[in-house]
Amino acid sequence: MFGTNLNEAPIFLAVIGSNDATAAFNSIVEQVNTSSTDAPDAHTAVTDTYAEQGITVFDKLLDRVLTDAVYTCTTARLSNFLDRNSYTTYRYMYSGVFPSASIFKDAGAYHTSEVPQVFGTWERSNRSGNATEQQIKLSSFMQKTWANFAKDSEKGVGWAKAGSTLLGRELGVLGEGDSAGVTVKRKAMVDYACALYDTITYFFGFDVVRGCAGVIGLGIGTERRYSASL
């Protein structure tokens, strides 16, 4: 079982600043897959893809592009590889946003924000706010889910394993909206831009032919987080 957070990028963008953030965005756009002769230029391909999802404000676009290129789509590729090679694989996306976990304005479900939820180490109260009932219940749900997977992955975790459904309804979204559990969605709902980033996922070492999961840096974090050994 492994996955990503809805907003992996903002915590890195806040550290590197606007100039470097824009540079990172441009470096990704330059590598976008536009191999078709009648394809639009890379920048247009990226902006149009996200505009179809209602994402047009640059800060939101920046988050989405960097999160998808570095995290969402590499995870999707690795998940597909593991499924094709007969590993029992469950994929999640964490989207919980809570006052006591928000380390800066509009942080969203940022990189590592799920860790206190998994280990039950969230703060009851701090200068950002108080723990909510949803947050407490979600933490309990996640701890149980992780423990059950570690005990016996074949019994399932509350949503379908990778590659087991006709329409790909096998992504467990944790903490979405008011949920204190899982909302199961089609993986295409979050992987819609991944075809753009094929070149980048290979660049990061996520080669489905060799099964390599090595990573190299782009100025922002790229480590994998596994809940149990494969």
**Count of structural domains, the chain:** 1
**In the chain, where does DSSP find H-type helix?**
10-30, 42-51, 58-67, 73-84, 115-119, 133-151, 188-191, 198-203
Name the amino acid, one letter, at 160: A
pLDDT tier at 54, thresholds 50, 70, 90: very high
Q: Left (φ > 0), alpha (ψ -120 to 50) or beta: where does 196 sit?
A: alpha
Q: Are 110 and 15 in contact (CB under 8 A)?
A: no
219 inside domain: no
Could you read off the pLDDT of 124-137 as tens digits, one per residue?
878 788 999 999 99
226 inside domain: no
132 inside domain: yes
224 inside domain: no
Residue at token pair 């390599």:
212
Provide the residue range defining the domain that includes 79.
Answer: 1-212
3-state secondary structure of 162: coil
pTM: 0.84
| Angle of the 58-67 helix axis to the 10-30 helix axis, nearest 10 | 80
Could you read off the pLDDT of 88-136 as tens digits, one per residue?
999 999 999 999 999 888 899 999 999 999 999 988 878 788 999 999 9
168 inside domain: yes
Could you read off the pLDDT of 155-190 as tens digits, one per residue?
889 999 999 999 999 999 999 999 999 999 999 999
220 inside domain: no
228 inside domain: no
218 inside domain: no
